[in-house]
Chain A
Amino acid sequence: MENITKSFSGIKVLDDVHFDLNAGEVHVLAGENGAGKTTLIKILAGVHTDYEGEIYLNSKQMGFKSPHDAAECGISAIHQEMSLISPMTVVDNIFLGREKVHANIWMDHSSQKDTAQQLLDQLDIQIDLSLPVEEYPLSVRQMIEIAKALVYDAQIIIMDEPTSALNDFEVRRLFDIVRDLRQKKYGIIYISHRLEEIYEIGDRISVLRDGKSIGTALADDLSPQELIQWMVGREISQQFPERMTSIGKERLKVDHFFLPDPSKAKNWVVEDVSLSLHEGEILGIAGLRGSGKSELFEGLFGAYGRTAQGNILLDEESFKLRSPRASIAQGLVLLTNDRKGTGLVPPMDIIRNITLSSIKSFSPKGWMHTQQEKTSAQNHTERLGIKAHSLYQEVDTLSGGNQQKVVLAKWLQTKPKVLLLDEPTLGVDVGAKHDIYALMNQWTSEGLAILLITSELPELLALSDRILVMHRGKITAEFTRDEATQEKIIHAAMGEEKKA
């Protein structure tokens, strides 16, 4: 790709960008959110068709008219938002838009099934092809996406943050597949925010910042320090800020907490969990996908209503498990791991999203005090460093990091005592991550207690004062900050499986 320039309503989002990819290499495209990575990828994949500059494929100039056109030429993109259709079967999804047909009308089901089976065997995945994809966890769906890309005879596969929804073990699995594809001479463009990943899988790294090419280097020649500097344009001394802890009295005490499985597949998703959390403490919860850690949070927050059982004391008072509304009123709030799905109201602006949960305090008699509301939202945007053109901007148009800060602001506005954070840095760029770490430190120093889930183990280790490990709905291990290591946690997280 040469001299690519692209503007949205008069604003340049890509400015004279260059990018190249060889067969049989993994080329990492890095940069903060809003740097233009996704736009560049969308141009390559034929989503955006009005741009300046040239694209050459095998030294032939190309101009893609549509995503379908790009796919026909061998470019397949796996976007952040997956493109699978949940109620359709695995086979139908794999062949979507490229159905095998006889005489142009009749579906050739058997031949589709055979080809799909071959592909999945090649990727070493054993699943039932005739089940709808919604039956499978995200990690498997990701593999199905890859199989779909291969059906197109792709030469180039673009992966836009493919690991953001996967746990460590699923990530290993994905990397094995990516390495295999590299060996088979596919060219892979890989977008990720996670430094360890970038170095583990990348052969070359290119960095975009503010729509400009900052540089390209072999992964071995570029130190993480330098990479971060390229991305943020300033030096960040450490990845994690120093954790200063001052632990006070007990804030939250959970005794024998049970949560029945909403899907009825088993009895409990959370079984007999007891924990205690103190003022100013960050308690990390580790565990694989399906260990029940997210459900524990949701249950404590009242998202499952009264089906959750257990004795909970908040500041030595009995905590009523009833509904999110009741929990918020009692001072316990949850940041969910799905920002767009359950955190934000996308068509509403920044102000309205920030005040969503505390709206009563801005409308004592039902009438909105919009000026007061705006002032308060303004305070939060300044304190959390939310970057936006205007407070009246719809949150949809913000970058991931800024969106996350809006959700955090919403919860802070309710003046909580306990903050449950489920993947607070998911899909958030390096700079904003750093800000969020610093904020967490600041809040705990003000007495807030935090329960934290994150699938990035280094993050968990750096931030938590104590770590609990969950497995199949139960707590299987507890480590202090000094005891905890990645190996111990992984071991405990899959401990029982080894015995079985």
Chain B
Amino acid sequence: MNKQSRLTEKSVTKNALLRSPLLRAFAALVLVFLIGMVFHAEGAFFKWNTHRDMLRHISVFAILACGMTLVIITAGIDLSVGSLLGLTAVLFSLFSIQKAWSPWMSLLACLVVGAAFGAVSGGLVGRFKIQPFIATLAMMVFARGMAKWVSGGQKISTAVLQPDGTYHYVEVPPIFNFLNSKILNENIAVVTLIFLGCILICWIILAKLRWGRYIYAIGGNEEAARLSGIPIIRTKLLTYGLSGLFCAVAGICQAAQELQGDPEAGMTYELTAIAIVVIGGTNLMGGRGGIGLTFIGAMTIGYLEKILSINAVGEASRLMLTGAIIVGAVLFQKTRR
């Protein structure tokens, strides 16, 4: 009797492991990785530089996906991340290149702007109960407009227009070069480290802080959470605010990589960020998911794009293949339920 019950318990844990979303997401990543091993483009896939560049390329998207994960767990969505990235990229270039503010001041100002815009979305969703899709759609349009307004529709670069109509070239501030550099014998990009930092921050919030518990509770059952005394509005304000803050981080990285602030930057990035979260396995209905999943999702999408690009697949085919593979990966995860 005792033996039997132990046996069933064991089989339960085994099943639970198979059903664990983390494992499923990981399986999808391994699959993509294996594809890379097969189509290695004459050994390119086996070189560390390929992986380093993949990590560097995916970092900006993944930083956006970090904030997106928290918002999606509250059963919301943040469509404004791409536009906020564009706005903060423009502002960062404007402040640090053209206005020659100190790098710390410029960083701080951009982070404040990002967080404030995010918090406004959170306020609209929390206090005024506007659906997250609508509220952040409006914010997406507004922020894009603002980016074009502050930049005058021009890319903000080292070429500064003088009153007499000529261009005067200024030095690139060292912060740009630092953010765009690779450290540890050129083995890892600084932006990748920033991305890992964002993952760590989100993990602490979700696993270790009371705030994280509120995020899961609101996504799991908002009414029950409210009746349990959880501060809904404050939590949403903070969570969307954090998403905005991450947008600013991503915007600063983007500006550093491009050495300019492009008001068009970040167009459709929100879709990539959502794809990363979803392919990781975080549930769009809210209440379930985690930042570890998003990390794996970012790797999966990153490798996918890298493999297609080192095999010189044309952009048209690449987009179509990416779409098909996202569906495939999500279906693959589902079948393991």
Contacts and interface: CB of A to CB of B under 8 A. Distances in A.
A367 B11 contact: no
A8 to B, nearest CB: 10
Interface string A404-430: 000000100000000000000000000
B227 A368 contact: no
Nearest to B16: A9
Interface string B221-246: 10111111111000000000000000
Contacts of A352: 213, 216-217
B132 to A, nearest CB: 18
A215 to B, nearest CB: 24
Interface in B171-228: 207-214, 216-217, 219-221, 223-228
A103 interface: no
A368 B216 CA distance: 14
Contacts of A359: 210, 213-214
B76 to A, nearest CB: 15
A10 B220 CA distance: 28
A325 B231 contact: yes
Interface string A100-136: 0000000000000000000000000000000000000
Contacts of B138: none
Contact of B221 (A11, A334, A344, A360): A344
B67 interface: no
Nearest to B213: A359
Interface in A339-359: 341-348, 352, 356-357, 359
Interface string B5-21: 00011011001000000
Nearest to A373: B213
A335 to B, nearest CB: 10
B223 A341 contact: yes
A363 B11 contact: no
A225 B217 CA distance: 42
A343 B229 contact: no
B11 A345 contact: no
A448 B15 CA distance: 43
B292 interface: no
Contacts of B12: 9-11, 389
Nearest to B232: A325
A329 interface: yes
B288 interface: yes
Interface in B7-43: 8-9, 11-12, 15
Among the interface residues B209, B227, B287, which one has the most CB atoms of the partner chain A within 10 A? B227
Contacts of A363: 209-210, 213
A410 B228 contact: yes
A258 interface: no
Given A9-B15, A329-B229, A356-B230, A344 B224 contact: yes
Contacts, number: 88
B210 A368 contact: yes
Given A348-B220, A389-B12, A368 B209 contact: yes
A322 B228 CA distance: 14
A368 B221 contact: no
A299 interface: no
B220 A368 contact: no
Contact of A342 (B11, B223, B287): B223
A186 B183 CA distance: 78
Given A336-B227, A356-B228, A366 B209 contact: yes
Contacts of B9: 389
A356 B228 CA distance: 7
Contacts of A9: 11-12, 15
A345 to B, nearest CB: 4
A343 B211 contact: no
Given A9-B15, A10-B11, A366-B209, A346 B221 contact: yes
Interface of B: 8-9, 11-12, 15, 207-214, 216-217, 219-221, 223-231, 287-288
The 5 closest A-B pairs by CB, nearest first: A345-B220, A363-B210, A325-B229, A347-B287, A328-B229
17 contacts: A9-B12, A324-B227, A324-B229, A325-B229, A336-B227, A341-B223, A345-B216, A345-B287, A346-B220, A346-B221, A348-B217, A356-B225, A356-B230, A359-B210, A363-B213, A368-B212, A389-B12
